[in-house]
Structure 1
Amino acid sequence: MSTRFWFLLVLCSAAAMADPITYNVTVDTSSISGTAGSLDFNFNPGPFVTQAASLQILNFSSNGSLAGNCPCGIGDVTGQLPATVTFDNATAFNDYFDQFTYGSILSFDVSLYGPALSSPDGVSTSGSTFAFSMFSDADGTVPALTSDTTDGFAVTIDVNLDGTTTVTNYSPQAGVTPLDATTVPEPSTLKLIGCWGVMLAGFARGQKLRRRLRKSIV
């Protein structure tokens, strides 16, 4: 087969891989504006066999102020807010904590990606979970703006064994919005079908051209 065929095959394979699953989290913090509290983000594997996954906190913005008393991360965590913070789930506990004086609003994007989302292995028996918490004290002991009296979470996002995600919102003041349609697998399948269609059409055109050349030679 031609070099062009193999090039298209590589492109199709790349197109079939799922894009990151991304959500925007926006919280109305006006009711605790001026409070010197703290924020906590963590992304951790389950207790059993867990497939690799990664997560990024992106586009953090607020009219409040971060203390920046870092290093803020524990485990597989790199970066510092308001810049991008990246988590991996290779260790049991991966956490980012920073003191924060609340303004009237805060917002950030959560982007999840990796084999657990793009190509679930069917072998793992635990997923991974992202959790975001707000506290009204600097030590992170008094949960704020949440109905979760057990763990104090405001928002959680579970990575399920089939590569889908489940969002749970415990905060009446928070909104969680998908930023794209990649929370379902169909778009990647459609990309694959479309790409193969282009390949087959190109192959058919090549066959016709070769037949014409043979006729002209004869």
Structure 2
Amino acid sequence: MRLMLNRYFFIALASATPLTAWSSSFNVNIDTTSLAGTKATLAFDFIDGDGVANNTAQISGFLTDGSFDRGLASSFGDVSGLLDTSVTLGDSRGFNEFLQPLTLGGILHFQLQISDLFDANALTPDAFRFYLLDELASSPLFSTTDPTDSAALFSMGLTGDGKGLSVFSSTNPSAVWNVEATSHGIPVPGTLPLILTGVGSLALGRNKRLLACNQQASL
């Protein structure tokens, strides 16, 4: 009876909890030729919308023909690392941001690796957003078609469906950018299936030991 209840418990737990996450990778190339020599700030924002710390975004492979001082970087919230190696943003806090001042050249390049897991009971998903701000990080360098009017260059709402980035265009010809998806919407095992697999293995082992003991006792 107890074994049957345990079985029903795990079935109910599995059906009530997301079993897979998504992982996507992107190559980001931004043409800033018309802004060469401009002092600006790169802003990488990660917002925890669903109230569950379960997503991360990693920026790596950063390249520019402009110039920047890693010592001037600043961050807020769940952020670690620097652009000349890699930066990881988590969502253990409501708002998480990494800022890097730089003098723009003609090109910005970086790789973005981001998970996409959404709590089905939440009203708002987590979100990743990227901005080009002025030197003091007080306002965007130019406006974009971002529907939130915050002038992001691109954003990604982590709704658990692996749909990828929303790329916005400039409302003036001051810069051109594009985002090239290198791998998109790849399902990866969620935490719960791994836990259930481990617990299931333990339960199976326990059942085998009980069966062996019962057989031994009947001899």
Question: What is the TM-score when the length of structure 1 is the normalising length?
Answer: 0.66
Question: Which runs of 4 or more aligned residues in structure 1 lie more than 6 Å from their structure 2 counterparts after TM superposition?
Answer: none
Residue 49 of structure 1 contacts residue 125 of structure 1 at CA under 8 Å; is this kept in 2?
no
Q: Distance in 1 between matches of 2:186 and 2:86?
A: 25
Q: Are residues 71 and 27 of structure 1, via their aligned partners in 2, closer, same or farther at CA, if it must alter by over 3 Å? A: closer
Q: Are residues 177 and 86 of structure 1, via their aligned partners in 2, closer, same or farther at CA, if it must alter by over 3 Å? A: same
Q: Are residues 89 and 163 of structure 1, via their aligned partners in 2, closer, same or farther at CA, if it must alter by over 3 Å? A: farther
Of all paired residues, the percent bearing the same amino acid is 24
Residue 22 of structure 2 contacts residue 161 of structure 2 at CA under 8 Å; is this kept in 1?
no
**Superposition pairs of residues 128-207 of structure 1, within 5 angstroms:** 128-135=126-133, 137-148=134-145, 150-160=149-159, 162-172=160-170, 173-180=176-183, 182-183=184-185, 185=187
DSSP-derived class of the 2:34 partner: helix
Q: Distance in 1 between matches of 2:169 and 2:69?
A: 23
Q: Are residues 71 and 148 of structure 1, via their aligned partners in 2, closer, same or farther at CA, if it must alter by over 3 Å? A: same
Which structure 2 segments of 5+ residues have no match?
Answer: 1-18, 171-175, 190-219
**Superposition pairs of residues 1-218 of structure 1, within 5 angstroms:** 20-46=23-49, 48-50=50-52, 52-70=54-72, 72-113=74-115, 116-117=116-117, 120-135=118-133, 137-148=134-145, 150-160=149-159, 162-172=160-170, 173-180=176-183, 182-183=184-185, 185=187
Deviation at 1:78, TM superposition (A): 0.1
Deviation at 1:74, TM superposition (A): 0.7
Q: Which has the higher strand share?
A: 2
- Paired AA for residue 155 in structure 2: T
Q: Distance in 1 between matches of 2:59 and 2:151?
A: 20
Q: Are residues 71 and 50 of structure 1, via their aligned partners in 2, closer, same or farther at CA, if it must alter by over 3 Å? A: same
Question: What is the TM-score when the length of structure 2 is the normalising length?
Answer: 0.66
